[in-house]
Chain A
């Protein structure tokens, strides 16, 4: 099996604060691998070590089979990184942003402008190629950052929260382009806290919290394993429904004003509960990755 990334016991600490606490994972060539987690889970610290921005505090890390400490220059030449901020050059045009970035990779000028043209076509920004970056909308800027990450024709694309702050139209457009790239065999490492994004794009993922990996697996597999197939939500639950769940030993989560009941086959249970305990405010829905995420990382706010 060809691994694009091999992390073993990877650690990162800032003074006393341990941001990444000995995590191990592998990314296989051609897959889209997700790192999910609440704010402060250690997602960005992890990927910063992978693209050579942060020195690691411990463990071992290989990218394309090369140890990062020795092969950093060769590794960085084959990676495309889409960072969280839109750190484009505001003084330059769309096309120039790509051409200047291509120079950092020693890509010859002619090849760079050809690639820039092709990529702008791909990301539907070609009509704005002579616009100044400051004239673009947020969604366009984000797409340009993504385009810029592809200028060196990378073997691994690293995306740090690629669609944060985008409107639904732009998000879907970015997702479609990413799916297209993945179908062409590009390996992708993605961090996000949008569960729908992770479900849609990731072949496999890990959920991190407080610097550690909680679970690893395929999105549907994780849902089956940790939540089940269906979720019944009961709003403003009565004491009777709680008693019923306790006596039947059914798995549920009590949020006070709301109950989440996890069920393998929810329809029968739903009918019983809605008939006997709550006529209103009772719904049956499919379990999602968000249920897994919230169940594992608990619901308290992260700041």
Chain B
């Protein structure tokens, strides 16, 4: 059908997105709990437990408490994980075990639209999880408004970025267990070294530079600045990086899936 040379996407990808939403509506009660409970656990453990040892942190020219420092990082990590896990494990189950994509291919949808629907759904999961978690964290008075409202559209962009690279891995792995590899080599290092639980400046200079390649570094910085109400022009660099990252991995994910599924 669709020649390899061109990627053709119509708004029909919404149909794929709707399919995932319909399934989500059946199981939402189960999947809603983690984003509510996770920040509470983390805030209690790290915030209340560790903040006594840590005291205040110097961030972008102002002193912030440790709890204020890590709360936005928790939101950023949550954005990353929601989309990444949706477009790895969940997409893999749909592709490999349930053969959902095969069934869709026998309808007017094409592969590009199916994959776009998957990634946009991953981003939607990121937005849902962010809204819930941000709501909980806001109850503790840890998010500044109105700047904090921009975290929601940011969650969508982050979802596209991490969902795209997630689906790219889905197009590569032979078995579901192999997702351990990108998780240990990509997700876990970012989880700890992206300025999440301590300022990036505490790392040696070479490591700081390396961390700038991590999309999570920029996402944490953006989320933290918005949540602390610190709007500065240099945030645009981070935004630009996430955009570029998405523009690179989105077509790459589709190409990879094309090579895997179209025979």
Instruction: Give chain A nearest CB distance to B262 CB in angstroms.
Output: 7
- A156 vs B187: C-alpha distance when bound (angstroms): 47
In contact, A103 and B18 (Cβ under 8 angstroms): yes
Contact residues, A74-121 vs B (CB, 8 A): 76-77, 79, 81, 83, 85, 87-92, 96, 100-101, 103-106
In contact, A53 and B99 (Cβ under 8 angstroms): no
- A87 vs B3: C-alpha distance when bound (angstroms): 26
B2 within 8 A of A: yes
In contact, B108 and A105 (Cβ under 8 angstroms): yes
Residues on B with C-beta less than 8 A from A76 are 106-108
In contact, B108 and A106 (Cβ under 8 angstroms): yes
- A14 vs B262: C-alpha distance when bound (angstroms): 11
Least CB separation from A103: chain B residue: B15
Instruction: Give chain A nearest CB distance to B80 CB in angstroms.
Output: 25
B27 within 8 A of A: yes
In contact, A87 and B19 (Cβ under 8 angstroms): no
- A69 vs B19: C-alpha distance when bound (angstroms): 27
In contact, B99 and A89 (Cβ under 8 angstroms): no
Residues on B with C-beta less than 8 A from A252 are none
In contact, A87 and B100 (Cβ under 8 angstroms): yes
Contact pick for A100, options B19, B102, B262, B263, CB 8 Å:
B19
The residue in B23, B100, B102, B108 that gathers the most chain A C-beta atoms within 10 A of its C-beta is: B108
A40 within 8 A of B: no
- A267 vs B22: C-alpha distance when bound (angstroms): 64
In contact, B98 and A104 (Cβ under 8 angstroms): no
A51 within 8 A of B: yes
Contact residues, A47-70 vs B (CB, 8 A): 48, 51-55, 68-69
How many residues on A have C-beta within 8 angstroms of the other chain's C-beta atoms? 33
In contact, B1 and A104 (Cβ under 8 angstroms): no
Contact pick for B1, options A68, A90, A103, CB 8 Å:
A68
B7 within 8 A of A: no
- A85 vs B99: C-alpha distance when bound (angstroms): 8
In contact, B100 and A69 (Cβ under 8 angstroms): no
- A77 vs B108: C-alpha distance when bound (angstroms): 5
Q: List 19 A-B contacts (CB under 8 A).
A: A54-B1, A54-B262, A55-B1, A55-B262, A72-B110, A76-B107, A83-B99, A87-B99, A87-B100, A100-B18, A101-B103, A103-B15, A103-B18, A105-B108, A106-B15, A106-B108, A148-B103, A149-B106, A152-B107
- A52 vs B106: C-alpha distance when bound (angstroms): 7
B105 within 8 A of A: yes
B239 within 8 A of A: no
Residues on B with C-beta less than 8 A from A88 are 103
- A52 vs B1: C-alpha distance when bound (angstroms): 5
Per-residue interface assignment for chain A, residues 244 to 286, with 1 indicating a CB less than 8 Å from any chain B CB and 0 otherwise:
0000000000000000000000000000000000000000000
Q: A55-B262, A92-B22 are in contact. List 4 more A-B contacts (CB 8 A).
A: A53-B262, A55-B1, A88-B103, A106-B12
Least CB separation from A68: chain B residue: B1
In contact, B98 and A51 (Cβ under 8 angstroms): no
In contact, B107 and A83 (Cβ under 8 angstroms): no
- A88 vs B94: C-alpha distance when bound (angstroms): 10
A73 within 8 A of B: yes
Per-residue interface assignment for chain A, residues 150 to 191, with 1 indicating a CB less than 8 Å from any chain B CB and 0 otherwise:
001000000000000000000000000000000000000000
Residues on B with C-beta less than 8 A from A55 are 1-3, 262
Contact residues, B89-104 vs A (CB, 8 A): 98-100, 102-104
B26 within 8 A of A: yes
Instruction: Give chain B nearest CB distance to A14 CB in angstroms.
Output: 7
Residues on A with C-beta less than 8 A from B104 are 104
**Which 8 pairs, one residue from A and one from B, show the smallest C-beta to C-beta distance?**
A87-B99, A81-B106, A104-B107, A52-B1, A87-B103, A72-B1, A91-B23, A77-B108
The residue in A103, A148, A152 that gathers the most chain B C-beta atoms within 10 A of its C-beta is: A103
The answer to whether residues A89 and B100 also contact, given A52-B1, A54-B263, A69-B1 and a CB cut-off of 8 A, is yes
- A76 vs B1: C-alpha distance when bound (angstroms): 10
In contact, B1 and A91 (Cβ under 8 angstroms): no
Least CB separation from B107: chain A residue: A104
The answer to whether residues A104 and B109 also contact, given A72-B2, A89-B23, A92-B23 and a CB cut-off of 8 A, is yes
Residues on B with C-beta less than 8 A from A72 are 1-2, 110
Instruction: Give chain A nearest CB distance to B263 CB in angstroms.
Output: 6
Residues on B with C-beta less than 8 A from A100 are 18-19, 22
- A103 vs B3: C-alpha distance when bound (angstroms): 25
Residues on A with C-beta less than 8 A from B99 are 83, 85, 87
In contact, B263 and A104 (Cβ under 8 angstroms): no
Per-residue interface assignment for chain B, residues 1 to 36, with 1 indicating a CB less than 8 Å from any chain A CB and 0 otherwise:
111000000001001001100110011000000000
Instruction: Give chain A nearest CB distance to B137 CB in angstroms.
Output: 30
- A96 vs B18: C-alpha distance when bound (angstroms): 12
Contact pick for A96, options B1, B2, B22, B105, CB 8 Å:
B22
Instruction: Give chain A nearest CB distance to B13 CB in angstroms.
Output: 11
- A89 vs B263: C-alpha distance when bound (angstroms): 23
In contact, A104 and B26 (Cβ under 8 angstroms): no
Contact pick for B26, options A52, A85, A87, A91, CB 8 Å:
A91
